[in-house]
Structure 1
């Protein structure tokens, strides 16, 4: 005779996540992996045209509807959650590419930034990539205070 066991804690937690998160978890996991593979195998010059329109060093903020802001928040949550379960490095750059793809899929205007800062202890440069949609930090957090913008790509 078979007995059904109650799902473990992680599975139970996943089942309590919003439907959007459940639906997008595996696709986002795959996109994060493909993004990481692209970063490792092709040059930035070949990848850059797919990031959006280059606008130099300017910071852009789009005005979004409340529905677009809610959708951007859902996208941010699923990317943050999924990145924790990747066996590969799913740091800021793969997350930024994934955010760019999902925001583009939902036709939400975004800004993708690249920044640099100097570590005060080691004096080495640190690079970071982050994506915003209006006032929503979709990936990479609020990084404007810590990093100097060295490149920006937008989609309106």
Structure 2
């Protein structure tokens, strides 16, 4: 086997060794995040988005979402869980064999937090793109914890939320 052919396997071995350094809870979170990303990606590709939005909680204006988030601020333990979920989704998204962009990441983290009784908000924004198109982005927060999709570029204008 040539050195070039061995290089990808070195990366895989390195990643497995790093995962081996994490605890059982982190492993479980990573597996849950990877499965959630696969389900979210499949849903985005095959289910009409309004139906996905209803399943996640329903659309609302950014103002209403901010009021709801203020009423459901997480405590210290919930903030730590939100940070861990964000870490797991981000790490899993970098390592799954498909493209897990901002929307599946936000959907997955939202579901994981919802399962743990932590209120979170998915934010949707648009920005002018090249050739008269629009760029879109989704990001998730739980109170003041930035879970996925951060930092948000300043050119994005928030247009809707799901909570």
TM-score bin (small chain): 0.7 to 0.9
1 CA distance for matches of 2:14 and 2:97?
20
Q: Retained in 1: the 8 A contact 2:138–2:149?
A: yes
CA distance in 2, matches of 1:136, 1:65: 11
- Over residues 104-154 of structure 1, what are the superposed CA-to-partner deviations in whole Å (9 max), with x where a residue is unaligned? 0110011111110113x6553100111100111111113273411111112
For residues 68 and 28 of structure 1, what CA distance do their matches in structure 2 show? 17
8 Å Cα contact 1:51-1:112 kept in structure 2: no
Q: How many correspondences in the alignment?
A: 147
Q: Would you say 1:140 and 2:149 are equivalent positions?
A: yes
| Alignment root-mean-square deviation, CA | 1.9
1:152 aligns with 2:137: no
Q: Against the structure 1 CA distance between its residues 42 and 71, is the aligned structure 2 distance closer, same or farther, given a 3 Å change threshold? A: same
The residue number in structure 2 matching 1:83 is: 93
Structure 1: unaligned runs, 5 residues or longer: 1-7
Residues 5-53 of structure 1 show CA distances to partners (whole Å, capped at 9, x for unaligned) of xxx4322211112433211222221211111111111111111111224
1:131 aligned residue = 140
Aligned pairs for 1:1-156 within 5 A: 8-58=13-63, 60=66, 61-62=69-70, 63-119=73-129, 122-143=131-152, 145-154=154-163
Q: Which has the higher helix share?
A: 2
Distance 1:146 1:64, change over 3 A: farther
1:54 Cα deviation after fit: 2.5
CA distance in 1, matches of 2:36, 2:99: 13
Q: Give the Å deviation of 1:73.
A: 0.3
Q: In 1, Cα distance between the equivalents of 2:155 and 2:144?
A: 17
Which structure's residues are more often strand, by fraction?
1
SS at match of 1:77: helix
What is the SS of the residue equivalent to 1:25? helix
